Amino acid sequence: MSIREILAAVCIILGILVFCCSILGVYRLKYVLNRMHAAALGDTLGLFLVVLGLLILGKDMFHMLKYALIVIFFWVSSPIATHMIAKVELLTDKDYEERMRGK
């Protein structure tokens, strides 16, 4: 096993652990915006680490470019989708202001 394979395995395993923590946060947190934060962590950091591990293992430039485009697509689309979901939640949640005041 080469250092390159070990480094790729560490990145992939760390990415999977981030995804597991993200899934746990989505199921355990109560408020929608907190759940969105946990899900966004998996989208950005987890995906980045897994794809970084695949990029380290990659031998073909075409496949490595596709992996990089996947990360770019997720990093562009995820904040937009998260913003829209948060905006809908704030506009439709009647108890939001009371929750923020601490009552």
For the chain, what percent of residues have pLDDT higher than 70?
Answer: 92
Yes or no: say if 96 and 90 are a contact pair by the CB < 8 Å rule: yes
Predicted local confidence at residue 102, as pLDDT: 63
What is the average pLDDT value for the chain, to the nearest integer?
Answer: 87
Q: What is the pTM of this model?
A: 0.79
Judged against a pLDDT cut of 70, whether residue 100 lies above it is answered with no
